[in-house]
Structure 1
């Protein structure tokens, strides 16, 4: 009888340990992720008729740059874009909507090369995400086990912690996150998060909200709301 009980315990104990580990890692929460990035628009390659041109307007209504309609929509959808014209790179970021027209600002490449999120925080590629601010606050940190140990394009190994630095119109609900992946879209083979499946909202990944100690350490490590110097250096074009 004792042998039978011991055998049963041997079967149950590993399952108990695994269950505790899963709970510790994710708190039983799951997300449906997507990916967004910062596109580069090359004016010399743009092909469209004068009737398909759109002005990128400043908050004061001044024209910052004129783009093909498709490029304009891409810049608006991603929230920011680079525009390259005869070798000069300019960074633009969505600012607000005035009189039902989206407004943009020019961004200093030396400060936030990848653009701004909310609360004037700089977007941090692979380590930041947009979330529904009805459920999360800017600066909150989530832990995603799936990311731990993944090697980023710059050689950095992910620790699984993501800072909420942005929001988005299509990011609705407590289980929706839009991960920022720098210059790489969801189709780029260099995009580590895309290879892991984060570009498809049909996928589901475990996550949990980091505790305050973890969150503070992560914000300090990633230099929130700014960027690490190494990120600033690699972001210069």
Structure 2
């Protein structure tokens, strides 16, 4: 059968691009994202029956605060929460589980306003994530091209680098990351990462592990393990 030159050229291009697509997808460097945040619970606005109350306990069993069951579950799910009661703000962070009961500690708002991750590092909104520590170490840095140039709620422009500051029970595998977005959940219009699709676990985004020099520079920029700035997002509380 006689084949035209144009057909051969088209076929070769098709094979070339198909090969590129296979190699890009086969390297495993696409991440599976979700979002977590730090909720604010207003005690004077939440009402529940006495049998729907739950105590937030300290490591030694002391009652830190009593919450409605739904609010308690939210604090536990996100790993930390703010409690606002008559204008006073208190920050709590999950610490450990003792006798099958989750324990929390109070967090100094001046040192880690958004709560602690692992190794006593401070969570850094939009620039930190939880990862599976079987594959990563606290302080490792990943680079995500989709984040480059994105404007954060405080006006800061993202450079694409994310520092691993946390872990989580549901964060399993080398390609799974849970991104911390401060006070805003995945439904908030102000949440830049949510608008970019990082709140949908069905999405996949290209990423790579930062080089040693890149990681050192990124940690320095974000003042890891502390925070670049220990201030609240304006107007949130």
Give the TM-score normalised by structure 2: 0.88
Q: Which residue of 1 aligns with 2:207?
A: 207
**Number of matched pairs:** 218
RMSD: 1.9
Q: 1:47 deviation in Å? A: 1.2
Quick check: 2:154–2:233 contact (8 Å CA) kept in 1? no
Q: 1:214 deviation in Å? A: 0.3
Residues 59-98 of structure 1 aligned to structure 2 (within 5 Å): 59-98=59-98
Alpha-carbon distance in structure 2 between the residues aligned to 1:33 and 1:68: 29
Corresponding residue SS for 2:130: strand
Q: 1:235 deviation in Å? A: 4.9
Quick check: 1:128–1:179 contact (8 Å CA) kept in 2? yes
Q: Which runs of 4+ in 1 moved over 4 A?
A: none
Alpha-carbon distance in structure 2 between the residues aligned to 1:42 and 1:233: 20
Asked if 1:101 corresponds to 2:84, the answer is: no
Q: Which residue of 1 aligns with 2:114?
A: 114
Alpha-carbon distance in structure 2 between the residues aligned to 1:110 and 1:154: 19
Corresponding residue SS for 2:116: coil
Q: Which residue of 2 aligns with 1:147?
A: 147
Quick check: 2:113–2:231 contact (8 Å CA) kept in 1? no
Corresponding residue SS for 1:76: helix
Structure (1 or 2) with the greater helix fraction: 1
Q: 1:28 deviation in Å? A: 5.6
Structure 2: gaps (5+ residues)? none
Corresponding residue SS for 1:120: coil
Q: Which residue of 1 aligns with 2:164?
A: 164
